Amino acid sequence: MNQPGDIVSKLTEQGYRLTPQRIMILSAIENSDDHISAEEIYAQVVAKYPNVNISTVYRTLELLKRLGLVTETDLGGGRVRYHPAAKGYHHHLVCRQCGAIIALDEALLSSLKSALLREYKFSADLRHLAIFGRCAKCD
Ligand SMILES: [Zn+2]
Ligand SMILES: [Zn+2]
């Protein structure tokens, strides 16, 4: 497993203490190629530190969200997923029927973002978005 990079250095910069458990949670997030759930993170951490409680995972995720280091997106069906904010902007179309997740082109949302700013003076946080509906197969 790689050493976690970005998130760790940002946390230490801001004076947060890094326990081995916290480092494992950060590695799990940074090493997941796509999204990861709190439960999946917990499963990885508890394999190495059997005394870790899942609330430690939730607390760490809360901290990372507050610091803007991870994004949290609800992909429906109770699937809340995390990934490092540094992995950039991306969006999903989620089928309510079969649960399929389709990547959505960023360009489609940049026009929405500027329209919201123009019409509502509203600066939308469109870093990681899930739009729900029905996919072509289920239509
Ligand atoms: Zn995503
Ligand atoms: Zn579908």
Q: How far is the CA of 51 from the centre of ligand 1 (A)?
A: 30
pLDDT digits over 66-122, tens only?
A: 988 898 888 888 889 898 887 777 888 999 999 898 988 888 888 999 999 999 999
Residue 33 has pLDDT above 80, yes or no: no
Strands 90-95 and 128-133: parallel
| Ligand nearest, relative to CA of residue 36 | 1
Kindly state the tokens that stand for 81.
């997923």
Q: How far apart are CA 63 and CA 25, in angstroms?
A: 12
CA distance 137 to 67: 39
- Higher pLDDT: 113 or 33? It is 113
Ligand lying closest to the C-alpha of residue 137: 2
Contact 54, 21 (CB under 8 A): no
Residue the block writes with tokens 């326990």: 19
- Å from CA of 119 to ligand 1 middle: 27
